Amino acid sequence: MNQYSESGRICTRAQVLLCTPFLIAAFVLSLSGHDLVLGQTADWTEPMSLSNESIGLSRWPSITDDSRGYLHVIWLEDSYVVNGIADAIFYTVFDGKEWSSPVDILTSPDQTSMGAGEIITLPTTGELAILWVASRTQYLSRAKIGDAEMARSWRTSTLFPWLEIDHASLVYAPPTDLYLAFSFGEDFKIGFAHSPDLGTSWSDPELVWSPKTGDYAATKPQLCIDATGKIVHLVWQENAGALNWNPSGIWYARSEDQGVTWSEPEYLPYEGSTPNCNYDGNGLLHMLWNSGVGSVDGRYHRLSLDDGLTWTEPKAVLPGLSGRTNKPALAVDSSGVLHLLSGAMADGKTRMFWSRWQGDRWTEPVSISNHMKSNESPSLVITNGNRLNAVWYNPQPDVANPHTVWFSTYETDSPIIVTKSKGFLLADTTVAAADASAPRVRPNTSPTDVSQVIDVPSQSPSSTTDLTPTDRLPAFTLGALVGFGLVLSVVAVTLIKRRY
C-alpha cells in the first residue's frame, strides 16, 4: 500500500514535470492571438471571389487601403449589358471583419464601354479617387472613404476633354500632388499632367513622346516616383503595325522637376509589353515588363542605382513564364523588400505568380491561384507593413470557377507597422465575403438610379480592438518554451528510471 502510494507520488511528479512546460506554452499561445493558429502566415490564403457576379464578366480589378487598414477594391463589370449599359464600376470594402456586398458606383455618361479603372487613396482629404476612361475621355471620380458605397457620393470631373485618351495612369505623391500620364490622339502619343492640389487644378498637358510615323503607337503608360515625390519615372508600351499592332518594345523617360521637362525617351527593342516600375527599400529603382506570347524566357527586369540616370542591362528573370497578362504588380513591405505579382502561362495554365527581390535576384515564382486555369491583371497593396493583399481576375470562368475577381492574402515575416489611426491589425482577410454563397443583391434599374443602390455600413473603428506589436508573441519566446519543455522532459524520464 505504502509502496503503491510512493510509486504513485513519484509518477505524479514526473507527469507534472512532463506537462508543465507544454501547458505554459499552450497558455502563452492562447494569449498571443489567432495569427499563429494553423500556420496562417506560411502560405497565401485560398483565393476567394469578391465579384460573385451571376451574369456578365468582371475584369481589371484595382485595390488600395486607407489609414484604418481597410481594403477597397473596384473592377469593371458588364452585368447590365442586357439593359443597354455596357459597363459599370463595382466596389467592395473590407472593414477588418468581412467584405461588403459589391455595389455599382459609376457608369459612363453615355453608358458605353469603360476602360480599366485605377483606385488610389488621398489621405490628406480622407477620400478615394478613381481614374477611368470611357469613349476615349478620361474621368477622375472622388468620394469620402466612409461614403464610397453610395453612388451619389462620387463626384466626377472630366480631365482634358479635348484629348482622345487611350490608357491612363495616376500616382499620388504626399501631401497634395497628383501625377497623370496618358496615351492620346489619333497617333497615340504619350502625355503628362501634374496637379499640385489633389486634382482641383491641373497643369497644361505636356507631350512626352510622339511616334515618328503612323506605323507605331504608344499605349499603357505607367508612373512611379521616388521617396521625395519629385522625380517622376514614366514607362510605356509601343505597338507596331508591322507586327499587326502587337507590342514592339518598351520606352522609358524621367523628369526631375515634377514633369515640367523630360529626358530623351529610351527605347528597349525586346517586343515586351505592359511595363511597370517601383523602388525597393534600398533605393534601387526596378523596371519589369512581360515577355512575348509563347516565349520561355520569363519576364524582363533591369535596375538603376541612380534614380534612372543609368541602368543595368535587361535580364530575363522568372524563366518558363510567358504571356501578355497586363502589367506586373509591385509593392514594398516594411523591411524594404519588393514584391512582384504577375500572371503568366506555365504548365498549360495562366496562373498568378508571386516572387520577391532578394537583393541580387528574384525568388522562385510561387503560384497563388491554385487550381484556376486563367489569371491576369494583378493589383497589390501592403497593409500593416507586412500583409500582402492581392486581387486579379479570371478572364475564362467556367463551371468550376464561375467568379472572375479573386482575392488572396499573405503575411510576410517583416515587422508589423500599426499606427494609432488604424486601430487594428488587418489579420483576418481570410474571412468569407459577405453572403458569398448567395446571389448578389442587385437594383432592378441601372446604376445611375442611385435611389436603388443598397448601402452597406462600414464597421466603426471604435468597435475594433487595438493590437500593437507587443501583443504578438516573438518567435524566439516560443522556441525557448519548447526547449525548456524538452529539458524538463529528460529530467522527468531520468527520475522515473532511477525509481524503478
Q: Look at 18-22, 134-138, 316-320, 394-398 and tell me which has the smallest mean pLDDT.
A: 18-22
The answer to whether the CB of 140 falls within 8 A of the CB of 130 is: yes
Q: Over range 217-242, report the average pLDDT.
A: 95
What pLDDT is stored for residue 271 in this prediction? 77
What pLDDT is stored for residue 468 in this prediction? 31
What are the C-alpha distances in Å from 457 to residues 98, 105, 125? 12, 15, 20
Which of 54 and 249 is assigned the larger pLDDT?
249
Q: Look at 110-124, 176-190, 425-439 and tell me which has the smallest mean pLDDT.
A: 425-439
What pLDDT is stored for residue 1 in this prediction? 41
What are the C-alpha distances in Å from 362 to residues 288, 334, 337, 340, 341? 12, 18, 11, 9, 12
Give the architecture-level CATH label for domain 39-463.
Answer: 6 Propeller (2.120)
What is the percent of the chain with per-residue pLDDT over 90, rounded to a whole number?
A: 54
Domain boundaries, the chain: 39-463
What are the C-alpha distances in Å from 381 to residues 232, 384, 447, 452? 20, 10, 28, 31
What are the C-alpha distances in Å from 45 to residues 39, 77, 102, 280, 410? 11, 25, 21, 25, 7
Name residues whose C-beta falls within 8 Å of residue 231's C-beta, 6 or more positions apart in sequence: 225, 254, 255, 256, 307, 308
pLDDT tens readout for residues 12-67: 444 444 434 443 433 433 333 333 222 233 489 999 999 977 667 888 999 999 99
pLDDT tens readout for residues 336-393: 999 999 987 777 778 899 999 999 999 999 999 887 778 889 999 999 999 999 999 9
Left (φ > 0), alpha (ψ -120 to 50) or beta: where does 51 sit?
A: alpha
Pull the grid cell for residue 469. 506589436
What mean pLDDT is reported for the chain? 78
For the cut 80, the answer to whether the pLDDT of residue 322 exceeds it is: no
pLDDT tens readout for residues 452-465: 222 222 333 223 22
Which of 496 and 404 is assigned the larger pLDDT?
404
Q: Over range 301-318, report the average pLDDT.
A: 94
pTM of the complete model: 0.77
What pLDDT is stored for residue 378 in this prediction? 94
Residue with cell 525557448: 480
